[in-house]
Amino acid sequence: MNLIDIFSRQRKTSLISLGLMLMILPWIISHGFESGNSYLRAFDMALLFIMLSLGLNIVVGYAGMLDFGYIAFYAVGAYTYALLNSPHLQALLPAWMMYPPFIVSIILAAGIACVFGIMLGGPTLKLRGDYLAIVTLGFGQIVRIFLTNLDRPFNLTNGPQGINNIQRVHLFGLDLGRPVQILGITFEPVHLYYYLILFFCALIVVVSLRLQDSRIGRAWVAIREDEIAANAMGLNTRNIKLLAFAMGASFGGISGALFASLQGFVSPESFIMMESVMVLCMVVLGGMGNIPGVILGAIIVSITPEILRDVINPLQMALAGRKVVDPETLRMLIFGLVMIVIMLVRPEGLWPSSRRRAELKPQTKGIALQEKDDMQDAERNHD
Amino acid sequence: MTEALLEINGIHKRFGGLHALNDIALTINKGEIYGLIGPNGAGKTTLFNVLTGLYQPDEGKFTFNGRDLFRQKPYVVVESGIARTFQNIRLFANMSALENVMVGRHVRSKASVFGAILRPPSARKEEANIRIRAQELLDYVGIPQHAEELACNLSYGDQRRLEIARALATDPKLLALDEPAAGMNPKETEELKALMQKIRNDGVTILLIEHDVKLIMGLCDRIAVLDYGKKIAEGLPEAVKSNPRVIEAYLGVAPE
């Protein structure tokens, strides 16, 4: 047996054990802790954020286009799902369009988000860096403002009140809104949703990995590295950049649709700019362009505030005997501080790709080679 | 063998008031090494950018291998068989040498997004072939040992070779090299010369911009000289060398 076999076998075992761990995670959490179910909700949200940050990672991490309005695609996905699966538009839409099967809803949400991705990408192809960031920031705001104001002239989005009564997911004849008994074990809805979201999250991880190691993924990185050279190598940079926007947006759309189905309610408030910034933080903190890093970043950024919520109050009571600062304020303060420290100490992120590490922290080897070259150049000049 | 591969006629390119290319006509035949020389600012690189689609010419005719390439996009130009390198090396610095060459294969491979995600056998095979071909090309230019090295960590001469390998990965009929010997020592220049001859013998026509007159004279079958955006001479190296207009352009005119 050669080394590669051993390696892949080890990988297989660790993948299987990771899978098992994720499968029993909800049981550990909901039985081990007092506020278990709220933690499980936090995990559901963390999984949604993993999908979002993997989508943004394609745009920012691979293709190198800074996007500050990414949450708009999450919103588009969520509203698409909500409109199709709630009584809100029943009077307007023909009956056959309402309450489509779950998978159809998800595909439609992904598809419409994808169209929005191309709508954003098309006009901004020539922009890059800060300028692109400004336009995408505006795009995110436009989508949110539309959602808030499209209750007139006819009521499409129900304005700031949002859409409620979104139907619970029905899958294979199973109603995910009710506890299910399988083999004597009771699965609460929050468990069922956890598995549903976990499935889609795993799917998106696999898709991300495969895109990364493909001709498309290489083309994205090449465009980020040097667009003119990429052009001269025969890459159709316009289409490839649009593809990055479209892929990123459709990941956001899927995540949004799952969010709407989990929540049962969507309103424009869930899609403020702060959320875009958070997703970008996850990508940057974890390590742009590296899938495990981005996943780590998403987990840390979405779970840490939840943990702090539970820690801060008892701590204040123990130290000062009363509530000194509002926990919500303190939570964000600590969180912000942690982010700043990490970015100062590890600008390449917690778990960067080797590429990004090389870029931000040139290895001594590279410098040595550079010096050698300089010496050679000096010798040449003497010739 | 005097079959024309590339033909341009009456090419003009203006940048505002600057007439960078003025009525340029060239014919490059299959299988030759064609040299392009001229003083700094003569328009050599502009012509290069026009030929590779990075600049759109204002007027003129541009046919390559029987195909009209006037004002075509770079990817169409590359697809029809023109590949280039850059004067100041433009590699994908933080990708490995192998990955750099693999990017060059993009235009000769087809896998779509769905191919990439679903990985049917055809996509797997294509990906494996891309890798094999890229490694072959690194062997061909003589840097197989650096396959996994990041491009930015390679030495200057190896970066030049890598750029050539990346350009060859697009299966070009015409390889356009923009000052490949710039900054090389005599030994490296000799090796480069041998590499270019090898490439030509394998059936790729070469268009070469170079300042190293010795290299140009020893290597090229025909030479064109540009000055102030105009072609002032064209022909065999020996004839060009003794052309009074060329000497004037390079050295100026002796005062009467």
Model pTM score:
0.88
Cα angle for residues A73, A77, A81 (degrees, 5° grid): 165
Share of chain B above pLDDT 90, in %: 58
Which range of A253-257, B38-42, B64-68, B154-158 scores highest in mean pLDDT? It is A253-257
State whether residue B116 is helix, strand or coil.
Answer: helix
Q: How confident is the model at residue A307 (pLDDT cuts 50, 70, 90)?
A: confident
- Which residues of chain B make contact with A383, given a CB cutoff of 8 A? 185-186
**B54, B94, B123 member nearest A231 (Cβ):** B54
Does residue A68 have a pLDDT over 60?
A: yes
Does a structural domain hold residue A20?
Answer: no
CATH of the domain at A186: 1.10.3470
User: Would A275 be classed as within a structural domain?
Assistant: yes
| Chain segment A168-222, per-residue pLDDT in tens | 888 877 777 777 777 777 777 888 888 899 999 999 999 999 999 999 999 999 9
Identify the helix (H) or strand (E) that includes residue B88: none
Report the distance separating Cα A124 and Cα A245, nearest Å.
11
- pLDDT digit string, tens, across residues B2-46: 788 999 999 999 998 888 999 999 999 999 999 998 888 888 889
> Which positions in chain B touch A380 (Cβ < 8 Å)?
183, 185
Residue A148 — very low, low, confident or very high, per pLDDT cuts 50/70/90? Answer: very high
Domain assignment present for residue A362? The answer is: no
Structure-model confidence comparison of residues A47 and A11, the more confident one:
A47
A57 pLDDT tier (thresholds 50, 70, 90): very high
Distance CA A378, CA A8 (A): 48
Predicted local confidence at residue A374, as pLDDT: 60
* Spatial CA neighbour of A109 closest among A232, A242, A266: A266
Q: Answer for the pair B40, B211: CB distance below 8 angstroms, yes or no.
A: no
Within chain A, what is the greatest distance between any pair of CA atoms? 86
Give the residue from chain B lying closest to A365, CA to CA.
B153
ipTM of this model? 0.91
- Check: CB of residue A251 under 8 Å from CB of residue A60: no
Query: What residue type is assigned to position A127 of the chain?
Result: L
Residue A6 is assigned to a structural domain of this protein: no
Residue A141's pLDDT is 94
A278 found inside a domain: yes
Query: What is the distance between the alpha carbons of residues A155 and A87, in angstroms, rounded to a whole number?
Result: 13
- CA separation for the pair A325, A304 (Å, rounded): 18
Question: Are the beta carbons of A233 and B104 separated by less than 8 Å?
Answer: yes
Measure in Å the smallest separation between the Cα of A231 and chain B Cα atoms.
Answer: 6
Q: How far apart are CA B105 and CA B101, in angstroms?
A: 7
Contact between residue A53 and residue A67 where contact means Cβ atoms under 8 Å apart: no
The sign of the dihedral angle between the CA atoms of A318, A324, A330, A333 is: negative
Share of chain A above pLDDT 70, in %: 89
- Point out the residue among B83, B95, B166 whose CB comes nearest to the CB of A221: B95
- The mean pLDDT of B138-142, rounded to a whole number, is 93
Query: How many structural domains comprise chain A?
Result: 1
Nearest to B19 by CA among B51, B54, B59: B59
Q: A257, A298, A248: which is closest to A106 by C-alpha? A: A257
Q: pLDDT-based confidence at A4, cuts 50/70/90?
A: low
Domain extent, residue A128, equals 33-295
**Mutation test of the interface with chain A: which of B106, B112, B143, choosing the one with the most A Cβ atoms within 10 A?**
B106
Q: What is the pLDDT of residue B3?
A: 84
Distance from CA of B182 to the nearest CA of A (A): 11
pLDDT for residue A35: 58
Residue A285 has pLDDT above 70, yes or no: yes
Q: What is the pLDDT of residue A333?
A: 82
**Interchain contact, A366 vs B166, CB within 8 Å:** no
pLDDT at A382 over 70: no
Q: Which of B92, B106, B152 sits opposite A366 (nearest CB)?
A: B152
Closest CA in chain A for residue B107: A234
Mean pLDDT of chain B: 90
Query: What percentage of chain A has pLDDT greater than the value 90?
Result: 44
The confidence score (pLDDT) of residue B175 equals 94
Chain A residues whose beta carbon lies within 8 Å of the beta carbon of residue B183:
377, 380
Helix segments in B145-220, DSSP class H: 156-168, 186-201, 213-219
Q: How confident is the model at residue A378 (pLDDT cuts 50, 70, 90)?
A: low
A154: amino acid identity, one letter: F
Q: Does some domain include residue A336?
A: no
Q: Which residue in A217, A222, A379 is closest to B92 by CB distance?
A: A222
Question: Are A197 and A48 a contacting pair, CB within 8 Å?
Answer: yes
Res A383 pLDDT > 50:
no
Distance from CA of B17 to the nearest CA of A (A): 25
Q: Is the pLDDT of residue A245 over 90?
A: yes
**A233 inside domain:** yes
Alpha-carbon dihedral sign for residues B185, B186, B191, B197: positive
Among chain B residues, CA nearest to A219: B103
* Per-residue pLDDT at A13: 84
Amino acid at B86: F
Could you report the per-residue pLDDT of B118-131, keeping only the tens digit for each?
999 999 999 999 99
Residues of chain A in contact with residue B155, where contact means CB-CB under 8 angstroms, are 369, 372-373
Residues 6+ apart with CB under 8 A from B110: B126
Query: Does A198 fall in a domain?
Result: yes
Residue keyed to tokens 């491009």: B151
Nearest to B63, CA basis, from B1, B3, B104, B19: B3
Which of B49, B100, B109, B117 is the mutation pick for testing A, counting most A CBs within 10 A? B117
Give burial (CB, 10 Å; 0-12/13-18/19+) of B84. Answer: buried
Does A153 sit behind a cis peptide bond, omega within 30 degrees of 0 on the bond before it?
Answer: yes
> What is the pLDDT of chain A when averaged over all its residues?
84
Residue B180 reports pLDDT greater than 70: yes
Strands B18-29 and B4-15 come out as: antiparallel
Dihedral angle computed from the Cα positions of residues B206, B211, B212 and B214, in that order, rounded to the nearest 10 degrees: 80
Nearest C-alpha in B relative to A372: B155
Cβ–Cβ below 8 Å for A229 and B92: yes
Residue B160 amino acid letter: R
Of A320-334, B34-48, B66-80, B145-159, minimum mean pLDDT range: A320-334
Is the pLDDT confidence value at A1 over 50?
A: no
Torsion of CA A62, A64, A66, A72, to 10 degrees: -30
Residue with the bigger pLDDT between A276 and A368: it is: A276
**Is the pLDDT at A129 greater than 70, yes or no?**
yes
User: Which of B107, B115, B117 has its CB closest to that of A234?
Assistant: B107
Which of B52, B102, B186 shows the shortest C-beta gap to A232? B52
Distance from CA of A192 to the nearest CA of B (A): 27
Give, for B10, the enclosing helix (H) or strand (E). Answer: strand B4-15
Interface residues of chain A, partner chain B, Cβ below 8 Å:
207, 210-211, 213-219, 221-222, 225-226, 228-236, 243, 247, 355-356, 358-359, 363, 365-366, 369, 372-373, 376-377, 379-380, 383
Least confident interval from A5-19, A155-169, B239-253: A5-19
Backbone angles phi, psi at A165, to 5 degrees: 60, 35
Q: What is the DSSP letter of B253?
A: P
